[in-house]
Amino acid sequence: MNQQTAVRTTTYREAVREALCEALRRDERVFLMGEDVGHYGGCYAVSKGMLTEFGPERIRDTPLCESGFVGVGIGAALGGMRPIVEVMTVNFSLLALDQIVNNAATLLHMSGGQFNVPLVIRMATGAGKQLAAQHAHSFEGWYAHIPGIRVLSPATLEDARGMLWTALEDPDPVLIFENNTLYNMEGILADDAGPVEIDHARVRRPGRDITLITYSASLFKSLDAAEIVVKDGIEVEVIDLRTLRPLDDATYIASIAKTHRVLIVDEGWRSGGLSAEISARITEQAFYDLDLPVERLCTAEVPIPYAGHMEEAALPQVDKIVAIIRRMMDHG
């Protein structure tokens, strides 16, 4: 972004909404479907007002049947359309696992390369708003396990605005996970913000002492923690993964070669999670660059509690990140 670029203050929600409206205007094959996306304006008000502009053919309210309407989205994609399917929360996507994992992710392979499935599925993810265990988990790491799909996790307004169009140009299924705690987040966005690439992680803060790998809402907790430990003379390099499948190993491996210490902050669970996969890759590719074992901070291995103080205690928080960073430097 250069100094002449006009910018404005907006929210993550509006950035997503702008991306949806742009896609609908640019390509008549694009339509949005999901529970309450039309008359209600979306569970998180992302699609508010879009029914009036685009009409019921392109903003389609669906029954409460994730398996059914995700299946319709797959069929529409096979038929040449560019559907954007909204699943209200990641927990409800489990009702469509058969469609996502056994159909969307496999059809290109099982057809011998004859049938692409250019489907985009958006869903809210994450905890922090007291929505309890059936509405607040982070299953991105589960989907990142599945060949045949791309998994995106936009944290910044720029990515919330720009990842959708790039995803729609992908000939294969793309899942976009939007952390529900980010929708009200305000920030600066360029007036001419548009599509962004979705192949690489980004260094959001350069540093020399510790590499901190994270994504989604945990990015901002990590940046806050990095700002705190600057007072201790500790410079943390914060990496935003952005794309969880395929992972961009090269960016964080290059960082570790410089810092020789690494902390992974992941809102998913620790056992068998995304942080475990990244830790294994670091051990395979950069073991001799490490001065300390890989550290991980994840959500407590419990269903997300409803009570606010318990939910906060279960999730990675700034004070926990700061404590681990200081301990790693003390033992380095």
Domain boundaries, the chain: 7-190, 202-330
φ and ψ at 40, to 5 degrees? Answer: -80, -25
The pLDDT score that the predictor gives to residue 2 is 55
Q: Which of 11, 278, 7, 34 is nearest to 176 (CA)?
A: 34
Fold of 7-190: Rossmann fold (3.40.50)
pTM score, whole prediction: 0.96
Q: pLDDT tens track of the chain, all 332 residues?
A: 555 789 999 999 999 999 999 999 999 999 999 999 999 999 999 999 999 999 999 999 999 999 999 999 999 999 999 999 999 999 999 999 999 999 999 999 999 999 999 999 999 999 888 888 888 899 999 999 999 999 999 999 999 999 999 999 999 999 999 999 999 999 999 999 999 999 999 999 999 999 999 999 999 999 999 999 999 999 999 999 999 999 999 999 999 999 999 999 999 999 999 999 999 999 999 999 999 999 999 999 999 999 999 999 999 999 999 999 999 999 76
**Catalytic annotation, pick one of 22, 135, 158, 237:** 135
* pLDDT of the residue at 135: 87
Q: Is 225 exposed, middle or buried (0-12, 13-18, 19+ CB in 10 A)?
A: buried
* Residue 5: predicted pLDDT: 82
Which pLDDT belongs to residue 289? 98
Q: 137 catalytic, yes or no?
A: no
The question of whether 66 is a catalytic residue gets the answer: yes
Which CATH number among 3.10.20.600, 1.10.10.10, 3.40.50.920, 3.40.50.300 corresponds to the domain 202-330? 3.40.50.920
pLDDT at 129 (0 to 100): 86
Assess whether the region 7-190 and the region 202-330 belong to the same CATH fold.
yes
Task: Specify the amino acid at residue 107.
Answer: L
Question: Which two structure tokens, joined as six digits, stand for 200?
Answer: 């690489």
Given 66, 237, 277, 311, which residue is catalytic?
Answer: 66
- pLDDT for 128 equals 85
Residue ranges of E strands in 180-279: 186-190, 202-205, 210-214, 236-240, 243-245, 262-269
